[in-house]
Amino acid sequence: MSIKIKKITRNKMSFKQRIYLFYISLGMLRTLKHFFKNLLNTKNIDFLEYPEQKPTDITSRYRGLHRLTKNEDGELKCVACDMCATACPAKCIFIMASEVESKKEKAPIKFSIDMLECVYCGLCVEACPKDAIRMDSGIYTKTGFDRQSFVRDIVELSNTKGGF
């Protein structure tokens, strides 16, 4: 049995196309128009002067930095079940649990996320049974001068407000 062969005939270029120069000059005119439009009036360029101007069109589904949520009494919802740390593909969540005397029996005493390892996949948010960790802070940049400043600890995580 022979293989089915489909022959594709290429469209022959017209002389105007084969000589290149005509269409090249048309394209160059187009780019030149853009260049002079922007050179003569740089205010027309649509851009954001980023650190001073913040984007306003972030959707509520955007994954910003993590935060730990609190219940009505003001204590962390987290029960240190380690589900998020287990689900994390980058292994960037570190939890140390301890017993507490309140409604819940267990709570984290240490909860830190290494933002240099984090891939912002959101699996920790999906895994959490208590809705204790969310990525809705609306913060889209994290800057720092050393590695240690990128490890966000429990204090920082629980003090972050929800952005959306």
Q: Does 27 bind another protein (CB under 8 A)?
A: yes
Q: Does 61 bind another protein (CB under 8 A)?
A: no
State the nearest-atom distance from the C-beta of 26 to another protein, in Å.
10
The answer to whether 77 and 71 have CB atoms below 8 angstroms apart is yes
Q: Does 41 bind another protein (CB under 8 A)?
A: yes
Separation between Cα atoms, residue 76 and residue 68, nearest integer Å = 7
Token readout for 157 is: 């995580």
State the nearest-atom distance from the C-beta of 148 to another protein, in Å.
25
Residue ranges in 64-83 that form contacts with another protein under rule CB under 8 A: none
Separation between Cα atoms, residue 102 and residue 138, nearest integer Å = 31
Q: How far apart are the first and last CA of the chain?
A: 63
92 marked ligand binding residue: no
Token readout for 153 is: 């600890």
Q: Does 17 bind another protein (CB under 8 A)?
A: no
Q: Does 49 bind another protein (CB under 8 A)?
A: yes
Contact residue for another protein among 13, 22, 32, 153 (CB under 8 A): 32
Give just the sign of the alpha carbon dihedral 92, 98, 102, 103.
Answer: positive
Q: Does 119 bind another protein (CB under 8 A)?
A: no
Give just the sign of the alpha carbon dihedral 96, 117, 65, 146.
Answer: positive
**Residues annotated within a binding site:** 78, 81, 84, 88, 118, 121, 124, 128
Residues lying near another protein in the complex (CB under 8 A) are found at: 21, 24, 27-28, 30-32, 34-35, 38-43, 45-47, 49, 52-53
